[in-house]
Structure 1
Amino acid sequence: MRRKKNAVYYVKKFCFYGVLILLAFVCVIPLYWMVRSSFMKNTDIYSMRPFVFWPKEMLWSNYTDAMKAANFGRYAVNTLIVVGGCMVGTLVTASMAAYAFSRVKWKGRSACFALILTTMMLPGSVTLIPQFMIWRNLNLVDTYWPLILPSFFGGGAFNIFLLRQFFLGIPRELDEAARIDGAGPFQIFLRVILPLSKSALVVVALFTFLNNWNDFFGPIIYLNSKEHFTLAIGLLQFKGDYSTKWNLLMAASTIVVAPCVAIYLFGQKHLIEGISLTGLKA
């Protein structure tokens, strides 16, 4: 019986890790193809026979040509402005909203929180036209404000939910001890709740960075001038009406993706820790 159980156990393990390896392979292939193509000639990308796993002659000039072809320096600054503003707005307002929903008692708290959660099931394209008309009437189209200001109104339902679940796991005895020492609600929020929630705040910051760094839909709707373009829209400059310089496009895409990969590699410990702690304390 034990041998049969051991055999079943190893078969399940083999199947489980086999599926994980297959999924990882599917995810890595596009990234490999992008980096590989960034070192090749444009004509060699189209030639599939014979298949070359990695080019013998790596054309580093593709990266310099890509930087020259597009105003990457300006686009990077624009992207950092948008990302930085969104991160500040999300961390400040989402944490305050989560604190109100988790530690402050007021009538209609559960109903309001449920209403906020329902917005997670609403596609963003549904509210696109009304939002665009609002920003147009405010004369804020072709500025960064339509991309940054929404982050200062709660920072998104998911971020509020994540931080609320984490705050619920913090013992209320700490609040009571702070009140005995004369601390008010805002002081408790700043000096007790936030210092104990660094892992969850790092998770929210990482998600906000990745979502806004890679955002294409928002900037292409609200930004019209080239001097306001972000990196995601700047990649469109390599796509011509009759031909596309795929090698330069892949080199530029690699440059854009590199910060996201680096941040994930350095921050994955905090990311996994924050998500796991939030799940355990839900």
Structure 2
Amino acid sequence: MAERRTFMDGVWRLLLLLWAISIIFPVIWILYQSLRTNAAFFQDIWALPKDIQWSNYSKAWNQYKIGQSLLNTLYYVGVSLVLGTFLTTLNAYALTRVQFRGRKLIWGLIMLSLFLPGINALIPQYILMKTMHLTNSLTGLIILDSFGENVFFLMLLGGFLSSLPKDLEESAFMDGASIFQTFWRIIVPLSTPGIVTVAIFKFLGLYNNFLGPFIYLGDPSKYTIGVNMYQANMKMQYTSDWVTMFAGVIIVMIPSIIFYVFFQRRIMEGATMGSMKG
């Protein structure tokens, strides 16, 4: 029996279609503008390119040093992702599976932090990083992002871990396993779907992170993708080489688009599963 669609179903579908168009259209516009000349761009911003200028991409790669910034981003995102995901999993396990005095108080303080704007911690963090001589360093940025826990990820993974049966740990303890052995050999393998979900969200957040690298990195040779493209945008008031700028934007979008295309199903399934089990 076919489902009956109501008027509101049609309205929601129309709204979702308009939302999708509002996201896709600017990307398509930037793409075809990156294949034009500056003269053609300033003459008519809506005209399609007559002669495709692939040289804009090589020019953007060399002029904006996108290769170096990609390597910096790979180092920053890769190490932060591995270390941060491990620490988030460890923290979620300790707060949901290990019984100790003050656990509920810690959870309460973590929930309270949701009401505090993250910008409030900016000045104390900067003073701490400067005191420890970790500014203008990708490694210092990795330490800041890895040890600075994200409450959303902690809640997401904590809800997933809470659903696992307690009998597994009790059996491991009876066999002589330590807390860490139980965590690493039993909890982590069973929590792989939730951990992968958190890792995907962390990757997207780290790759698109701008504020942290912008504040802490002063050496252009250490810029990540976000800061590098911001500096390229600042040059437009002097050069007005917009088509090269658009080509650079398309290049830096490719990794995140590919990542999302391959993992979009895992993102939706994992996020839904984590919220349901929490």
TM-score (normalizing by structure 2): 0.92
1:85-111: CA deviations, max 9, x gaps? 210221111101000111011122122
Segments of 4+ moved more than 6 angstroms:
none
Structure 1 segment 21-60 matched on structure 2, within 5 A? 21-48=17-44, 51-52=46-47, 54-60=48-54
Structure 1 segment 130-169 matched on structure 2, within 5 A? 130-153=124-147, 155-169=149-163
Task: Tell me which residue corresponds to 1:248.
Answer: 244
What is the CA distance between 1:30 and its match in structure 2? Answer: 2.0
Instruction: State the distance in 2 between where 1:131 and 1:250 align.
Output: 34
Instruction: State the distance in 1 between where 2:233 and 2:13 align.
Output: 39
Task: Tell me which residue corresponds to 1:115.
Answer: 109
Task: Tell me which residue corresponds to 2:58.
Answer: 64
What is the CA distance between 1:258 and its match in structure 2? Answer: 0.6
One-letter amino acid matched to 1:247: V
Q: SS of the residue aligned with 2:238?
A: coil
Are the structure 2 counterparts of residues 114 and 46 from structure 1 closer, same or farther at C-alpha, using a change threshold of 3 Å? farther
Q: SS of the residue aligned with 1:155?
A: coil
> How many correspondences in the alignment?
274
Are the structure 2 counterparts of residues 117 and 147 from structure 1 closer, same or farther at C-alpha, using a change threshold of 3 Å? farther
The answer to whether the 8 Å contact 1:101/1:109 transfers is yes
Instruction: State the distance in 1 between where 2:18 and 2:116 align.
Output: 32
Task: Tell me which residue corresponds to 1:270.
Answer: 266
One-letter amino acid matched to 1:136: K
Task: Tell me which residue corresponds to 1:184.
Answer: 178
What is the CA distance between 1:180 and its match in structure 2? Answer: 2.9
Are the structure 2 counterparts of residues 237 and 12 from structure 1 closer, same or farther at C-alpha, using a change threshold of 3 Å? closer
What is the CA distance between 1:17 and its match in structure 2? Answer: 0.7
Instruction: State the distance in 1 between where 2:136 and 2:38 align.
Output: 34
109-118 vs 260-269, which moves further: 109-118
Q: SS of the residue aligned with 2:6?
A: helix
Instruction: State the distance in 2 between where 1:224 and 1:15 align.
Output: 49
Instruction: State the distance in 1 between where 2:187 and 2:43 align.
Output: 58
Residue of 260, 263, 281 corresponding to 2:277: 281
Residue of 222, 225, 237 corresponding to 2:232: 237
266-275 vs 143-152, which moves further: 143-152
The answer to whether the 8 Å contact 1:35/1:251 transfers is yes
One-letter amino acid matched to 1:237: A
One-letter amino acid matched to 1:150: L
Instruction: State the distance in 2 between where 1:161 and 1:179 align.
Output: 26
One-letter amino acid matched to 2:38: N
Pairwise CA RMSD: 1.9
Residue of 51, 74, 80 corresponding to 1:80: 74
Instruction: State the distance in 2 between where 1:196 and 1:44 align.
Output: 57
Instruction: State the distance in 2 between where 1:152 and 1:243 align.
Output: 38
Instruction: State the distance in 2 between where 1:62 and 1:134 align.
Output: 42
What is the CA distance between 1:238 and its match in structure 2? Answer: 5.0
What is the CA distance between 1:154 and its match in structure 2? Answer: 5.5
One-letter amino acid matched to 1:253: V
Task: Tell me which residue corresponds to 2:83.
Answer: 89
Instruction: State the distance in 2 between where 1:31 and 1:170 align.
Output: 42
The answer to whether the 8 Å contact 1:92/1:152 transfers is no
96-105 vs 126-135, which moves further: 126-135
Task: Tell me which residue corresponds to 1:209.
Answer: 203
147-156 vs 204-213, which moves further: 147-156
Are the structure 2 counterparts of residues 152 and 216 from structure 1 closer, same or farther at C-alpha, using a change threshold of 3 Å? closer
The answer to whether the 8 Å contact 1:169/1:281 transfers is yes
Instruction: State the distance in 2 between where 1:48 and 1:152 align.
Output: 46
